[in-house]
Structure 1
Amino acid sequence: MRKVERRHWHMFFSHGRKTLYQNVEAPQAKFFRPLLKAMLPPDTFKGKVAFITGGGTGLGKAMTTFLSTLGAQCVIASRNTDVLKATAEQISSQTGNEVHAIQCDVRNPEMVHNSVMELIRVAGHPDIVINNAAGNFISPTERLSCNAWKTISDIVLNGTAYVTLEIGKQLIKAQKGAAFLAITTIYAETGSGFVVPSSSSKAGVEAMSKSLAAEWGKYGMRFNVIQPGPIKTKGAFSRLDPTGAFEKDMIDRIPCGRLGTVEELANLAVFLCSDYASWISGAVIRFDGGEEAFISGEFNSLSKVTKEEWDTIEGLIRKTKGS
């Protein structure tokens, strides 16, 4: 059983900094071209503080970059200090806005408490909190040990809870509101084999977010969730899919005909965390190019039937008598 330190299931097949160059998009992808620049006005987050867990790489880095570009003072946290500091320096030099790096293992409540105290000390109480840190690996469930289960649930569910409760209590004490966002996955809603600890924990995160949207609105806090589907990241699938065959199979079940991009995810995230979304709370937004809708429909595989085959099928149906 090989652990993979990545955010979501779409990150399982990453390797180093290699990039796939082949284009396996479906023809309809031309109708769904991604816009990669920040959609909100400059200075949307000027004077705001954002705290992002798992902010050093991948989706967390993209969301931090967009928030910083739009004026936020960002504080990123993760276990890997070297990666975290390099990301903070890179984004800060790119946007001109300060990015702080705080080492934090979200599995450790005491470390979370200390990190939140440092966050408040260096930047102030956060206006935006993004729970993005996660861990996962694929495995037949019968091969899982209790420790394997605990490792994932401690990061995904307990870690999100520790961060949310610690920051929430500090905000209540300071009588200050904030927008919380959790990054889950499409299988949090449906369940999925081979990632059972992750799907169970992510489902818990979604239940917690909706519950707190109901309970803590009175304190000025909003809670929303994004469920990403497969997102194209640097080096995606390059170890297990050097020819692009796996990626093509995946795209075959995405109606929009392509993988998502980190910039698109970041745009959705910063919108949900902005004052433009001040009436959105308790929402769970699927972000997957239509994949879940496609794989959920019992007859959607009929999209592979050709025109000639449909002519034959229609003829047979017309000949059918009775009910």
Structure 2
Amino acid sequence: MQKELFNIENKVAFITGGGRGLGRQIAEAYASSGCHIAVCSRHLDQCEETAQYLEEKYGVKAKGYSCNIQSENEVNELVNQILSDFGQIDILVNNSGATWGAPVEEMPLEAWEKVMNVNLTGMFLVTKAVGKQMIERRSGKIINIGSVAGIKAEPPEVLNAIGYSTSKAAVHHFTKDLARKWARHQIYVNAIAPGFFPSKMTKHVLAERGEEIKKHNPLGRIGDDHALMGAALYFASPASDFVTGQVLAVDGGSTL
């Protein structure tokens, strides 16, 4: 029973920002379950290295692609290429993200716009392109990567990135709204809101305040390389077939 509930063998997952960090962790969780993997980011070398690693370790088909998800033309071309290479996309993980740390009164407009364009517009463009074939097939799992920053307001000493926080709150509502719109097509849309994990985005904050952040976390720690995998597998698999429009915080209890 458990194996059937979490079975994604021979499914195809497309993960944006999948060449490193949390995206790569999710890609590995899926590949270890027999799922074929397409990963993209602006850094083709990272995506190709990740794809090669997954193919060699787990024996699945995996390919890396380069894409600027802020460009509708590039997104549409990429999705068509993935469909040509794999035949279908069963699971979409919108993981690409950007941030910019600065006090509100000093944040440049271009910084705000960059964060919004990647975290929201890019997610919209990818979801729109992938969603069309999911609607045709009347099947699909979409997992958006939000953040606890979009659930609670942190003091500026911990997180001073209002564009990022605002965009992630919008990701959560996008998830709920789209889940309502596409439920009729048998497409499930859920979100994961990670707490603090080691990543390029959090490197500076954790270096300066990591011990204090751990001290205020109910579980007394930050996320590790495996903490997100279970939630990602749950939302991608039949185990979540009666769950849509939900935002799951994977944060050690920091939003309590």
In the superposition, relative to structure 1, how do residues 238 and 150 fare at CA in structure 2: closer, same or farther (>3 Å)?
closer
Amino acid at match of 1:100: K
1:124-146 C-alpha deviation (Å, 9 max, x unpaired): 22111000000112111111222
Counterpart for residue 280 of structure 1:
243
Say yes or no: does 1:183 pair with 2:145: yes
**Mapped partners of 2:199, 2:13: distance in 1:** 23
Amino acid at match of 1:264: A
TM-score (structure 2 length as normaliser): 0.91
Residues 1-323 of structure 1 mapped to structure 2, 5 A cutoff: 44-172=7-135, 174-192=136-154, 194-232=160-198, 237=203, 241=207, 246-293=209-256
**C-alpha contact (below 8 Å) 2:47/2:64 kept by paired residues:** yes
1:204-255 C-alpha deviation (Å, 9 max, x unpaired): 1111110111111111100001111012459x748973xxx72211111111
**Shift of the alpha carbon at 1:120?**
0.7
In the superposition, relative to structure 1, how do residues 91 and 170 fare at CA in structure 2: closer, same or farther (>3 Å)?
same
Uncovered stretches (5+) of structure 1, i.e. residues with no partner: 1-38, 294-323
**Shift of the alpha carbon at 1:40?**
6.0
**Mapped partners of 2:184, 2:10: distance in 1:** 23
Q: How many residues align?
A: 251
Uncovered stretches (5+) of structure 2, i.e. residues with no partner: none
**Shift of the alpha carbon at 1:103?**
1.1
**Shift of the alpha carbon at 1:41?**
7.1
1:101-125 C-alpha deviation (Å, 9 max, x unpaired): 1211111111111111011110122
**Mapped partners of 1:125, 1:178: distance in 2:** 10
**C-alpha contact (below 8 Å) 2:6/2:238 kept by paired residues:** no
Higher relative contact order (CA 8 A, sep 6+): 1
**Mapped partners of 1:180, 1:168: distance in 2:** 9
**Shift of the alpha carbon at 1:90?**
1.1
- Matched residues, percent identical? 27
Three-state SS of the structure 2 residue aligned to 1:263 is coil
**Mapped partners of 1:238, 1:167: distance in 2:** 34
**C-alpha contact (below 8 Å) 1:132/1:183 kept by paired residues:** yes
**C-alpha contact (below 8 Å) 1:128/1:273 kept by paired residues:** yes
**Shift of the alpha carbon at 1:262?**
2.6
Over the aligned positions, Cα root-mean-square deviation in angstroms equals 2.2
**Shift of the alpha carbon at 1:45?**
1.4
